[in-house]
Amino acid sequence: MLLMKDIVREGHPALREVAAEVSFPLTEEEKKLGQEMLQFLKNSQDDELAEKYGLRGGVGLAAPQLAVTKRIIAIHVPDENEKYYSYVLYNPKIRSHSVQQACLAGGEGCLSVDREVPGYVVRSERITVEAFDETGKPFKLRLRDYPAIVVQHEIDHLNGIMFYDHINKENPAYLPPDVDVLG
C-alpha cells in the first residue's frame, strides 16, 4: 500500500514535468498504480487507518506525485450532498469548461506541499472531463464546484503545474470579480 513516504514533495523534478499519456492495454503495473492511488485516498479519509499509517487526508492524487510521470489521476471526493466521486482516470482531458469561475474559500493544499500556502486559486466552476478506465473504456464526467476543482488540481500535476502557480503574486487575496467562493 502507498504511504506518505511514497509521495514526492515540491522540489522533485517529476512535479514539474509534462507527464506522458499511457497506452492501452495498460501494463499490470499501471493498473496496480491506479488502484493503489485510489486506495490511498480512501485510507487517508479513514480516521483509524490515517492515524495508524500517518496519512494526511487527501481527495486527489496524480501519478507524478509518486514520481511516475504518466497521465494517471485518482479522486475520492464528495460534493455538497456527500455524493462521492471515486475514480481512477487514465489520460484525462478537460473537454469543456464553464466561463463561470470558482475557488475554495480556504485556498488549496497538496500532499506534495508540506506547508500552508495562502491565496485564492481561481479555476473553472464546471468542467466536462473525458478519460479512460483501466480496461481502456472511455468515460465522461460532468463535475461542478469542489469535485471540479479537485480534478483541475490533479490534471495540473500532469502538466507540471502546482496549485500556487495560480495564486496572484502581488496579492494572494486578490479575487477577480464574479468568482464564486466555495465552502
Q: Report the interface residues with Zn ion, using CB under 5 A.
A: 110
Task: Report the number of secondary-structure helices (H) and strands (E) in the chain.
Answer: 3, 8
Residues 125/98, Cβ–Cβ less than 8 Å: yes
Q: Of 129, 9, 10, 2, whose CA–CA distance to 53 is shortest?
A: 2
Among the listed residues 30, 108, 134, 154, the single catalytic one is: 154
User: Is 36 an annotated catalytic residue?
Assistant: no
The CB-of-132 to Zn ion minimum distance in angstroms stands at 22
Nearer to Zn ion, 113 or 179 (CB): 113
Residues 58 and 32: beta-carbon distance below 8 Å: no
State the minimum distance, in angstroms, from the CB of residue 153 to Zn ion: 6
Comparing CB distances to Zn ion, the nearer of 7 and 26 is 7
The DSSP bridge partners found for residue 115 are none
Select the residue whose beta carbon is closest to Zn ion and give its number. 110
The distance of closest approach from Cβ of residue 54 to Zn ion in the complex, given in angstroms and rounded to an integer, is 18
